[in-house]
Amino acid sequence: MSSSVLCFGELLLRLGAPGRQLLLQTPSLDVHVGGAEANVGAALAHFGHEVAMASVVADNPLGHAALGELRRHGVDTGHVRCSAGRMGLYFMTAGAGLRPGEVVYDRADSAFATAPADSYDWPTLLQGVRWLHLSGISPALGPQAAQATLAAARAACGMGVKVSFDGNFRPRLWQRWGGDAAAILRDLFACAHIVFADHRDIGVVLGGEFAQGDAQARVDAAAAMAFAAFPRLQYMACTQRTAHNAGRYSLGAMLLGRDGTRALAPVRELDGIVDRIGSGDAFAAGVLHGLMEGFDSETTIRFGLAAGCLKHAIPGDFCPVGVAEVMMLMDEGTLDVRR
């Protein structure tokens, strides 16, 4: 069963140091297309859903290549405009051992960030759409992107479209233009059917600190506060990550419902991590797939965690795996070579 999904956000080019090298240690870079919302869209397309992207890219070979890559993963790019300006970039150095990874953004004044907020016809873009996926990165890019994201969320609410919102708080991006992160994110949370957020995101949006003794208790308390503050909100989902070193994590997940549902996915040990970028987006796509397909809460969060775990083993920002592969991991499938 297909669901119509619209993702709104910036398409980026990622320029990464090869292997485990430092940035520009050698004069070559690996190139991948990404962006938080596009990552979710690509994963959902691989899960069999009808997905479209709304965005603005540079009208040059970089922007055209990014659109071609998104189409290759099954995402409709008919709602993406090409405009004068530059592509947003980010530079990635992968972590190794006890050295963490590092991201350097170069996306200021991109074609997306400077696109006028009123240049999007949301009633038309959302026609026939069942879900709108947004993230907190878009409004952090500047006043035009913030107003466009708010307009998208409000239009979706008015049209009965469910809003999926990933908090993705990026303080440095907000600080660059002095945006009121708490107020804008609060308005976006108020439109959401599901938020991908933990106690730290709720602390930013609603204020306060959560001093409970363990991570799950802090998330429980944050979810209770979020459900009380946002009547439209039905679900809150998050992962819990423990980093042992750059190549080994422990990863669990929680899905909490307004109705008191509390589902946990058992912690998985990830060793030999290839690329963690986009893993949170793969998790979000997995949870959305579960909700769209009517899975129960436990199956939904286990599917989301399995999708996120698989992304750690795939280079690049996108997670190009199908439902069968995720289900195989959920069912503790063999690691023997499939022939």
Tell me the pLDDT tens digit for each residue of 51-101: 999 999 999 999 999 999 999 999 999 999 999 999 999 999 999 999 999
Q: What is the largest CA-CA distance in the chain?
A: 55
Element (H, E) at 301: helix 297-311
Q: Are strands 88-93 and 12-16 parallel, antiparallel or unpaired?
A: parallel
Q: Are the beta carbons of 238 and 196 closer than 8 angstroms?
A: yes
Q: Using CA atoms, how far apart are residues 166 and 286, in angstroms rounded to an integer?
A: 13
CATH T-level topology, domain 4-330: UDP-N-acetylmuramoyl-L-alanine:D-glutamate ligase (3.40.1190)
Query: Rg (Cα) of the chain, in Å, rounded?
Result: 19
pLDDT 10s digits, 185-198: 999 999 999 999 99
Residue 79: other Cβ atoms inside 10 A: 16
Instruction: Using the predicted structure, report yes or no on whether residue 326 has a pLDDT greater than 60.
Output: yes
Q: Which two tokens stand for residue 317?
A: 């920002």
pTM score, whole prediction = 0.95
CA dist 123 → 4, 126, 154, 297 (Å): 15, 5, 11, 32
pLDDT one-digit tens code per residue, 92-126: 999 999 999 999 999 999 999 999 999 999 999 99
Question: Where are the domains positioned within the chain?
Answer: 4-330
- Whether residue 3 has pLDDT greater than 60: no
Which two three-digit tokens encode residue 227? 């459900």
pLDDT at position 128: 95
Separation between Cα atoms, residue 170 and residue 192, nearest integer Å: 19
**41 pLDDT higher than 90:** yes
Look at residue 336 and tell me whether its pLDDT is greater than 80: no
284, two tokens: 């979000």
pLDDT of residue 1 exceeding 70? no
Q: Concatenated DSSP letters for 161-226? A: -EEEEE----HHHHHHHT--HHHHHHHHHHH-SEEE--HHHHHHHH------SSHHHHHHHHHHHH
Range 241-260 average pLDDT: 95
- Other C-beta atoms closer than 10 Å to the C-beta of 197 total 27
Distances (CA, A) of 254 to 16, 237, 251, 257: 31, 6, 11, 10
CA 160/CA 335 separation, integer angstroms: 43
Look-up: residue for tokens 């996306």?
A: 107
Tens digits of per-residue pLDDT, 134-183? 999 999 999 999 999 999 999 999 999 999 999 999 998 999 999 999 99
Residues 261, 28: Cα–Cα separation, whole Å: 49
Host H or E run for residue 307: helix 297-311
Q: What percent of the chain has pLDDT over 70?
A: 97
Task: State which amino acid sits at residue 222.
Answer: A
